[in-house]
Structure 1
């Protein structure tokens, strides 16, 4: 039996509510491993707050050998599946920021296969300016969308690109590899703090929206929580 759009959103929000009752976990020194290409395996992250975002910083580390496009981070709202998407493109050294279907490509970034890569992405609604940091080096600054915030109950997913709120995944864009140290802030993180993250130096406080050391999450299908391996040296 088909589920109406309204009922589907209700069930999704109910799932988030039930999930939020679970104890948060400290994943310091651990990682999510996505062992296979699929259109089902993913991790749902439950934010510490659901207020509208007028700015955002997303930081994470990834380890993969894929050259094809793959989703690094997917943030959707009920009105837009691409409220804030980080996608590693098929072209070497290119990462896409998609913010409310406004796409910008950042080129000549020095991420490398089969090693840990540190990524931070920032965006400010007042100026529309977005920027990426990859393994300690900044990208150029580019305009994405200006003057509007990110509003609505968020659906935050690792391992897949949401083509609809909370679902409609594409196997060809799934993440295969390992992810760790995922944090989200409701502000543009200043350079000194980004530099600390890039160098693997523990910060006094993690993300206030998503915090890796106090994480509320649900694993769907074939994803593992494992001890961090291969080190974090860039």
Structure 2
């Protein structure tokens, strides 16, 4: 069955090189302006993981500044389980930071704050709390000591575009994401730099350990209408605009 709709919210004017609307069923999340409502939730059952890699393509609103949560994962027992955060300062590069089980990593210079698409991969391992940040296929930084005592908790909620101040809610506009997201993939292992560089060049995510991708059955919700778009893929996603 061919997809009837190929985007959620709207298709951005410019797309990542990896995306071809004529050949894929990619879902685009376009968060236009900060809001305490706009978000997308992955309807996926997460198990406990000792390692994880999350990659996506991002396009930041060039007129937006401040701190924001690109995505957040919370469990019933721990709110700040896993987050990717951004710091946008006028005249400076986009800075990104990883937060794992309440332990906040450093903000690192990632790429220009422009109107272009950039790929981002963050990885973490329970083994000595090792973490790494890649942007546009290149290793930016890596380190240790980012929560070496706990695994990636099971049974949580993965929210795109918002930080969760309570489990699955209490969103704040001044911490929300403004921009576009697509090509979100999650692996239950650490991808090495060679794999990420090849993925950047060939636009083909490694299959080993890949258990989630943002190609999905979508339920779009608003206060005025309810509509559904069907995709040929296995993931479910729920969005509120």
TM-score tier by shorter-chain length is 0.7 to 0.9
- Cα distance in 2 for partners of 1:54, 1:207 equals 12
Alignment deviations for residues 159-178 of structure 1 (CA, whole Å, 9 cap, x no partner)? 11111211111100111111
Assess if the C-alpha contact under 8 Å between 1:83 and 1:101 holds in 2.
yes
Assess if the C-alpha contact under 8 Å between 2:27 and 2:214 holds in 1.
no
Q: Provide the TM-score with structure 1 as the length reference.
A: 0.76
What are structure 1's unaligned runs of at least 5 residues?
1-25, 223-234
What are structure 2's unaligned runs of at least 5 residues?
1-22, 216-232
State the structure with bigger RCO (CA 8 A, min sep 6), 1 or 2.
1
Alignment deviations for residues 72-122 of structure 1 (CA, whole Å, 9 cap, x no partner)? 111111111211100011343321111011001142322432110100000
Change (3 A) 1:102 1:71: same
- Cα distance in 1 for partners of 2:24, 2:177 equals 19
Assess if the C-alpha contact under 8 Å between 1:106 and 1:140 holds in 2.
no
- The equivalent residue for 2:169 is 167
Q: 1:45 aligns with which of 36, 42, 47?
A: 42
Within-5 A mapping of 1:42-191: 42-47=39-44, 49-64=45-60, 65=62, 66-91=64-89, 92-143=93-144, 144-191=146-193
Shift of 1:126: 1.4
Structure with greater helix share of residues: 1
RMSD: 2.1
Change (3 A) 1:207 1:41: farther
- Cα distance in 1 for partners of 2:176, 2:201 equals 27
Assess if the C-alpha contact under 8 Å between 1:36 and 1:176 holds in 2.
yes
Q: Provide the TM-score with structure 2 as the length reference.
A: 0.74
Structure with greater strand share of residues: 2
Number of positions where the alignment pairs a residue of Structure 1 with one of Structure 2: 195
